[in-house]
Amino acid sequence: ALKKFPPLPSLFAGVIVGGAFAMATQGQSLQSVFDYANNGYSIQTNISEIDNLLNRGGI
């Protein structure tokens, strides 16, 4: 509320900037950024409790 920006454009800008940083610094493709935003990040640790905790979904 510091600059009184509306929340939805601010959230959208944050998603865009985060995706750009993921592509620039981690070498992610645009397709994988869209996949993470839609489906969430998925990790396989072979420990079912940890997998259930970390794989709960995306936006």
DSSP state letter for 36: H
pLDDT tens digits, one per residue of 33-49: 999 888 877 888 999 98
Q: What pTM was estimated for this model as a whole?
A: 0.65
DSSP count for the chain of H helices, then E strands: 3, 0
- The H-or-E segment that residue 24 falls in is helix 7-26
Map residue 42 onto helix, strand or coil: coil
- Residue 33 is predicted with a pLDDT of 92
The 10s digit of each residue's pLDDT in 1-24 is 677 889 899 999 999 999 999 999
